[in-house]
Structure 1
């Protein structure tokens, strides 16, 4: 299992509600979370199959930006 980390523009619960169905629908994602308390609104994704670009495209599909960090 690899953990991918992204800085996002997901800022609130409403934003989270928009991205949740898109990320939950992706079967290759084992677990994910967004830290709304962090200044960078960090998205953490656990997956064995997806690349950072794959996750970035999923977040973009929901209308948000994600930039991989680390």
Structure 2
């Protein structure tokens, strides 16, 4: 499994609390983290499925764009 990085609009602790159940279900607890200090609000996920992550984020009401 590789670490994928996404630019998101997840800005704060409350945002993280909102996406937590969606990401935990999609990729598993402990397999993701959001750097809210980074201007791009980078979500790092240990998975090989880009679409699964994007769907989970969108289901929670946020956006995620894969970074190259």
Normalising by structure 1, report the TM-score: 0.86
> Unaligned 5+ residue runs, structure 1?
none
Aligned to 2:36: 36
Q: Which has the higher strand share?
A: 1
**What are the residue-to-residue correspondences of 1:17-28 with 2, within 5 Å?**
17-26=17-26, 28=27
Query: 2:28 aligned with 1:16, yes or no?
Result: no
- Return structure 1 stretches of 4+ with deviation > 4 angstroms: none
CA RMSD of aligned residues (A): 1.3
Deviations 1:10-32 (A, max 9, x none): 00111010000111122x44610
Count of matched residue positions in the alignment of Structure 1 and Structure 2: 67
Q: Deviations over 1:9-66 (max 9, x none)?
A: 000111010000111122x44610000100000000002xx42122111100010000
Q: Which residue in the other structure is 1:6 paired with?
A: 6
Q: Which runs of 5+ in 2 are unaligned?
A: none
Deviation at residue 69 of structure 1 after TM alignment: 0.2
Match of 2:64 in 1: 66
